[in-house]
Structure formats: structure tokens, C-alpha cells
Structure 1
Amino acid sequence: MKKRVVITGLGVAAPNGVGIAEFTNAIKNGISGIRYDAQLAELQFSCQIAGQPQISDELKSQYFTELELRGFNSTGILYGVIAGLEAWKNAGLPINETPDWDSGTIFGSGTSGIEKFRESIYKIDDLQTRRLGSTVVAQTMNSGVSAYLAGKLGLGNQVTTNSSACTTGTEAILMAYDRIQSGQAKRILAGSTSDSGPYIWAGFDALRVCSSKYNENPEEGSRPMSSTACGFVPGSGAGALVIEDLESALERKAVIYGEILGGNVNSGGQRDGGSMTAPNSIAVQKCIKNAILNANVNPNEIDAINGHLTATTKDSLEIENWTKALERNGADFPYINSLKSLTGHCLSASGSIESVASILQLHEGFLFGNLNCSDLHPEISALIDSSKVLQKTIKSNPKIIAKASFGFGDVNACILFKKFEN
């Protein structure tokens, strides 16, 4: 018999809130984390606004020793450790003195330590290789974030980092779900992280897919589903969830934030309209349909969708794919929101941060509103009732939320979360 899989811990380092309390307040009250970035302006980026977690030196010192922080400048690992350790503590779990063979981590990343890479390249070119320091490998290897988390918590089960562009976080949660459901682990710290800064964001600015018309009004820059959307706002951060089998959670009397019903991961193979940067709509629809099938629910049971919805020209296509996959449109369509209106696009961290937001909505009984979307795109309003795109947060009691992520390389992931009922 397959095990029921639940969520017992949450952690986040988001542009609009570091820590679950601050983040919950931000999404409930429509508080944006998008700010003007003077460095991007100095480097002559078209987009001069970004979403970046605000991390003080005092906060860093709560998670890292003085020795660890010496020469440390990997923002992705920083965010991942802060979010991961918060989730672990939030779940009421101890830091282990010996390896915990039942607990592991699957924590995704797009890149790791891009600033450390840059620093290393300059030192190597200046014949200062011996001055790179002893942590350069740990900070720059893609699995650095999972390695740091495993070391800080004493995890003895699977410790790995996945990487699948913008689907990374959602994929990590599904990988954790599969491992626990099959009985190979009791709990997995799942999530993802993304580095900050111009060396991550420059390529997207060069592709001309970033918002550049709102540099003087940063909070208006991210406009998913809007007729005046003009590209995504780059962001960064990390989200973390403790995924656990129900039996273990009940045995230790843990708070249960929600249940994972199932999901699906696939690819469009960059065929039939899919490419490195564009989705194959058939694959997107199949991913959603197979996720629903795997979760053993009826499409009519889905109360809300937390979409990928990046504020690009593909938003209308995403909504169309949802209507076809669910066979629901107009007033029958579920409520839908996009966290990117509040945080920007956090790239490889987006799926995990947005999953944390989805679980908070289920657990606390609300649906957050979309900023900057009073002018709903006409192609979207032709597909679904405008009332389904909330402008403000409402009190609600959603039972099932579908969360999807679609990434570069024509890759897709969809997961179904449910309000916990024992």
C-alpha cells in the first residue's frame, strides 16, 4: 500500500519576506519584494529592478559560523540554508549528532556560487590560484546547497541536488514525494534555491524577456496576466518543505500543513511548437492531466491554481492550456494567481517558493491576490471569467490547489496539494 505523504515544515527566503511569518504577511497583504537595483542600472541593464531577499549580517550569523562566512559569497547556498533550516525547525525536528538514516534532502539549484566563480576566475588569471580558499569547491559545485544542509542537519538518507530550470523546485518536491511514498525515506527536506545578481540575470536581459518599462516604479514591474505585461522581473531566493510520511508525522505529533496527492513531470521534447524557450502545449496539457490522474482527483475538485505565469507573452497560452487540460473555462474555471506579481521570477527557486505559498493558502484558508492585473489581458478574459483572477486576497477554504512550473528546455512539472484531513 502506498504511503500518504504530508508536509510538516515550511521555510522561505523570498524577496518579499525572509521567514514564514514575514512571507505570509506579505502575500496576504499584497506586499511586493521588487525594488530598484542600482547595480543593474550601473551595468546598463534594460531591466533595472529585481526581487532579492533582504538578508542582514545578523541573520547570516544565526545560520553560519564566523569561520564559514569567511570568504563566503554564494547567495544561492545562503538562501537555501536559511530556508531549509527554518523548515526543519518549523517541523520540530532535532539537529542530529549522528547520521539520521531516515532523513535526507533533495534541494535543487540552477547554478551555485556564481560570484565565487567570478572571484575565482580573476584570481586564476592573476596567478593567485593558491588564494582561492578551502571552500571554493563547496560553494561552486551545483550540489553545494544540499551538501551544506546535510552537514548542518546530519542527514543520512539521499542527499542530492536536482536542476531543471524553472521547474526545479516543483520537481524536487515530487522527487521527495516519490522517495517517501516508496518507503525509502521517512522524511525529505525538499526545495530549491537561486543565486542573485547580474551574472545570473544578464542573459535574460540580453534575451529581452525582462521588464524594462517600470524602472521608476518597481512594484508595478511584474504584471502576470496583464495586457500591459512587458516581461518578467528577475528574482532570487529559496523555498523549503519538510515532506514526511503520514505515519511518522502522526507518531511524533507534528503540525501537518497539507498533503501531497501526486503530480507529474514531463518534457515536450522541443517538438510541436516547443523549443528551448517555448512550451510544447500538448506536453503542458499532458503534464497537468497526468498529474491529476496520478493524484486520483477529478479536475472539478481543484479550487485554485498557482500558475507559472511569468508576465510574458506566454501567459495567455498557459491559461489556454489549463482550460483544455481541465476542460473548465469561463466562470467554471478555478481561481488562479501568480506569486511572481509579488516577487518577480525567482528562476530555479520559483517552484519551491510558490509551493510554500500554495501550502500556506490551504493551511490558513485564504487565496492571495494578483498585483498589477486590473487590466486583464483580453486573450485571457476571452477564456476565463475575470473574477477568477483575484485582485485582492480573499478569505477562502480551498481544499485542493494545483501548482505548476514550466521551464527552459521545454520541461514541465505539476503537483496537487490538498488541505490535510486525517
Structure 2
Amino acid sequence: MNATQHSVVVTGIGATTPLGGDSASAWEGLVAGRSGVRLLEQDWAAELPVRIAAPVAVEPTELIPRPQARKMDRSAQFALVAAREAWQDAGFSARAGEEAAVDPDRLGTVIASGIGGVTTLLDQYDVLREKGVRKVSPHTVPMLMPNSPSANVGLEVNARAGVHTPVSACASGSEAIGYAVEMIRTGRADVVVAGGTEAAIHPLPIAAFGNMMAMSKNNEDPAGASRPFDVDRNGFVLGEGAGVLVLESAEHAARRGARVYAEAVGQGISADSHHITQPEPSGNGIAHALQNLMAGTDLQAEEIVHVNAHATSTPQGDIAELLALRKVFGTDVDHMAVSATKSMTGHLLGGAGGIETVAAIQALHHRQAPPTINIATLDPEADADIVRGAPRKLPEGRIVALNNSFGFGGHNVVLAFRTV
């Protein structure tokens, strides 16, 4: 790291998830090994081959006033709920501009979504067809825009250094956090609110993913359907929610005496260039992302004691990720406690990197790796130390956790965080 670069720390976390409406309750659910997956009760679900998903535990409309909520897509509502928690957790007021908690020109947001306002788009198209042009909401376009969550959070905190929305499928949330780290590291901002959100529990996405044979059809056992690394895994379960961090330069955090969860060490990014939906089976693309992370930071393999795996519960993807870890780290993988939290939350698509980064940081903070549930028979090709059955205590001292995120299109993002 050269002299012009700034160290970056995490000073706030927030989440709304299938396990709980804030980061504390979500963490409690992860440690307890509780599933947020359930059978969908909507009338439209009865006609689908996939009738399970992981909806949020607390509806955002319980926390956002109705006049404000009705102008926001569900994905933006999730982002705002999580961002408000993270902002207050970092020790700031409800709006930065009110008390000049942060210079607005030094404050940014980077909130990603893989699909954006899909429910708004589809619902308003139904309105157009059934009720006519005049009944279409005038708020439709600003609601369906993929940058709507980031823009709404930016308005909330009065951010002027930049409001960004990377879109890279299921790697979107992690890419957003990595972009935010670089904003601070290169001096563009002092504070950035960053993460991922998704709200795609709707018949069309579920039907489409189901027809791709990408989703589990285990409607008889919703809680047991998401089973990463199990020999009988048969697809992911769709979840919804958001995870958001407040990232800050170490100097800015020190000046205001902020509590620090972890150092954001860096990121590794690559692309498979293999297939629009299928992962590169040998894990080469993921390995390049890991290598880029190590080459661009001062990390040592022996420091890495925990990995929050992408592990969606698909036959190819789960093993490719572990092959990549072994390819890059060799026998050092043996001391890395690997957790697959999608076994409990389902797969939040563009929001996955957000809530799973929050989980990785909580694992460091509490020195505890959550379990992977629903592994009845571990796949013999799963050559890693998969945390199962109960949470795992992590070592004392200076330790590192990784969060892995991969997406359709071959996007690979690895984030690293270290205790301080």
C-alpha cells in the first residue's frame, strides 16, 4: 500500500433478513442454525413447481412510513432499513446533514442489486394491462431503476461524494463493498455506506429460475431445502433482504472515537469467461480472484481462519469454490472454518454479498463461525473444513475472514476483513 492510500475500517453494520429484521437477530439465527425458508402461501405460488422461499422476517413497511414506502420498490425499502441501522450503529444521527456528522462532499453510497425493481416493473405492467394507462404509478420509473436503493440511501444520509450501483448478478453486493473500499482508499470519500439488496420473490423470477433447474423443488421440506455441500443438494432457495456496512477511513474513525468492527483489507476480482450461467468447473476463475486478493494486499494465508462461502447449494458451484480455495491456499485451507450461511438465509442474489459480509464481520467480532445446516451426507469432493452441527470458536489474536461472491456472467469477488 503506497503512502497516498488510506486504511479502511468497518464502523457500522445493518441487515434485514429472513432470520431477523436487524443484524443482531440475524446473527442470533445464524449461530442457532435456524432456517428462514418456508412454504409460500400466496395464491400464485400454488401453480409453480417451486413453492418455497426465504422472505424477510420483518416487513419493511413496519419501519418505513407508508407515504415514503409507497414511492420505493421493495429492494429500496430493504436497503433503507439496513442502512439506517448501520448508520446509527456507526454512531451517526438519522441524517448526516442535520448535525454535519460527515461532510456530505466526503460521503458516498454504493448499494447494489442484481435485479433491481423487478416487482415494481411486473406489478405495474399488470396494472397497465388490467386497469389502463392512467392507473400506472407516476413513481414507476424511479422505483424500478437498479440505482434506486443506492439513491434513496444517498438521499437519507445526504451523500454527495458519489452514489453508485454496480450490477454483477449475485456478486453485486460484494462488488459494491469492494468499490466503496476503493473510494475511501484512494481519497474520494471519508465514509461510504455500502452493501447489497434484493427483492425478487415473485412468480416470474421463481418460474424462470425453476425452469433453468437452478432451484430446489423440495417443497415438502422447506427448512431442509438449501443444503450446500450435501451430496444430494439440488439447487438454491430464493431469499430476500439487505446487508449494509458503514465503511470509513481509519483516520476519520479515530478522530471521532468510533467503535471499529474490523479492517477492510481488500478485494480480489476476476471473471470466468466460461458460460453465462454455469461456473467454470475447475474453479480457475475463482482462484484468480483469490490470487488477486493476495497479490494486492499484505495478507498471509495463515491469517485466514474463516470463509463465508458463496455455496448456493448447486452441484457444480459448491465444489468449484472449494477447488479454488485448495488451488490457491493448499494445506492452509485445513485451518479455515468454512460456513455456508445460504443454508439458513437462502440466496439473496445481489443482496447475498451484503448480508454475508455482515455475517463474516460478525464472525470476526464474536470470534465464532456459524454452522452450515442441512448436511446429512457431506459430498466426498467437499475437501475443506465445513462447519457443521454447531458454531465454531475462532482463534484469538489477529485473524482474517473472507467473503466469497460469484454471479451469473462469471463474476467473481472475494472480500477480506481483519480484526483490529
Q: TM-score, normalised by structure 2?
A: 0.92
Which residue number corresponds to residue 206 of structure 1?
211
| Residue 358 of structure 2 corresponds to residue 356 of structure 1 | yes
Between 1:305-314 and 1:394-403, the stretch displaced more is 394-403
**TM-superposed deviation, 1:328:** 2.3
| Aligned-partner Cα distance in 2 for 1:126–1:236 | 28
Which residue number corresponds to residue 106 of structure 1?
110
**TM-superposed deviation, 1:242:** 0.4
| Aligned-partner Cα distance in 1 for 2:386–2:66 | 49
Which residue number corresponds to residue 7 of structure 2?
4
| Aligned-partner Cα distance in 2 for 1:326–1:289 | 9
Trace 1:7-406 onto structure 2 (pairs within 5 A).
7-39=10-42, 42-56=45-59, 60-63=61-64, 65-70=65-70, 72=71, 74-94=73-93, 95-97=95-97, 100-125=104-129, 128-198=132-202, 199-213=204-218, 215-270=219-274, 274-279=275-280, 281-314=283-316, 315-328=318-331, 332-380=334-382, 383-384=383-384, 388-397=386-395, 399-406=399-406
**TM-superposed deviation, 1:73:** 6.5
Task: Kindly indicate whether the alpha-carbon contact (under 8 Å) linking 2:115 and 2:146 is maintained by their aligned counterparts in 1.
Answer: yes
**TM-superposed deviation, 1:299:** 1.6
Give the residue type in structure 2 aligned to 1:359.
Answer: I
| Aligned-partner Cα distance in 1 for 2:216–2:44 | 13
Between 1:336-345 and 1:39-48, the stretch displaced more is 39-48
Root mean square deviation, CA, Å = 1.9
Give the residue type in structure 1 aligned to 2:392.
Answer: I
**TM-superposed deviation, 1:246:** 0.3
Task: Kindly indicate whether the alpha-carbon contact (under 8 Å) linking 1:40 and 1:48 is maintained by their aligned counterparts in 2.
Answer: no
Percent identical among aligned pairs is 28
| Aligned-partner Cα distance in 2 for 1:390–1:123 | 47
**TM-superposed deviation, 1:317:** 2.1
- Shift in CA distance, 73/262, structure 1 to aligned 2, threshold 3 Å: closer
- 3-state SS of 2:406 partner: strand
| Aligned-partner Cα distance in 1 for 2:217–2:44 | 11
Task: Kindly indicate whether the alpha-carbon contact (under 8 Å) linking 2:37 and 2:54 is maintained by their aligned counterparts in 1.
Answer: yes
- Shift in CA distance, 207/7, structure 1 to aligned 2, threshold 3 Å: same
| Aligned-partner Cα distance in 2 for 1:42–1:310 | 22
**After superposition, what is the alpha-carbon deviation per residue over 1:238-286, rounded to whole angstroms, capped at 9, x for unaligned?**
100001000111111111011111111111222xxx4432236322111
Task: Kindly indicate whether the alpha-carbon contact (under 8 Å) linking 2:226 and 2:346 is maintained by their aligned counterparts in 1.
Answer: yes
Q: Stretches of 4+ moved more than 6 A in 1?
A: none
| Aligned-partner Cα distance in 2 for 1:165–1:351 | 10
| Aligned-partner Cα distance in 2 for 1:364–1:335 | 14
- 3-state SS of 2:315 partner: coil
**TM-superposed deviation, 1:313:** 0.7
| Aligned-partner Cα distance in 2 for 1:155–1:343 | 30
Q: Number of matched residues?
A: 407
**TM-superposed deviation, 1:163:** 0.7
- 3-state SS of 2:263 partner: strand
Give the residue type in structure 1 aligned to 2:92.
Answer: L
- Shift in CA distance, 208/122, structure 1 to aligned 2, threshold 3 Å: same
| Aligned-partner Cα distance in 1 for 2:130–2:249 | 52
**TM-superposed deviation, 1:134:** 3.2
Task: Kindly indicate whether the alpha-carbon contact (under 8 Å) linking 1:52 and 1:196 is maintained by their aligned counterparts in 2.
Answer: no
- 3-state SS of 1:303 partner: strand
**TM-superposed deviation, 1:296:** 1.4
**TM-superposed deviation, 1:337:** 0.8
Task: Kindly indicate whether the alpha-carbon contact (under 8 Å) linking 2:36 and 2:54 is maintained by their aligned counterparts in 1.
Answer: yes
| Aligned-partner Cα distance in 2 for 1:243–1:97 | 18
Task: Kindly indicate whether the alpha-carbon contact (under 8 Å) linking 1:336 and 1:389 is maintained by their aligned counterparts in 2.
Answer: yes
| Aligned-partner Cα distance in 2 for 1:69–1:80 | 12
- 3-state SS of 1:403 partner: strand
| Aligned-partner Cα distance in 2 for 1:232–1:329 | 29
Task: Kindly indicate whether the alpha-carbon contact (under 8 Å) linking 2:69 and 2:77 is maintained by their aligned counterparts in 1.
Answer: no
- Shift in CA distance, 418/40, structure 1 to aligned 2, threshold 3 Å: farther
- 3-state SS of 1:17 partner: coil
Give the residue type in structure 1 aligned to 2:291.
Answer: K
**TM-superposed deviation, 1:62:** 3.3
| Aligned-partner Cα distance in 2 for 1:42–1:412 | 32
Task: Kindly indicate whether the alpha-carbon contact (under 8 Å) linking 2:50 and 2:207 is maintained by their aligned counterparts in 1.
Answer: no
Give the residue type in structure 1 aligned to 2:86.
Answer: A
| Aligned-partner Cα distance in 2 for 1:168–1:378 | 31
**TM-superposed deviation, 1:200:** 2.9
**TM-superposed deviation, 1:298:** 1.7
| Aligned-partner Cα distance in 2 for 1:132–1:406 | 36
- 3-state SS of 2:373 partner: coil
Q: TM-score, normalised by structure 1?
A: 0.91
- Shift in CA distance, 191/358, structure 1 to aligned 2, threshold 3 Å: same
Between 1:238-247 and 1:16-25, the stretch displaced more is 16-25
| Aligned-partner Cα distance in 2 for 1:266–1:90 | 32
Gapped regions of structure 1 (runs ≥ 5): none
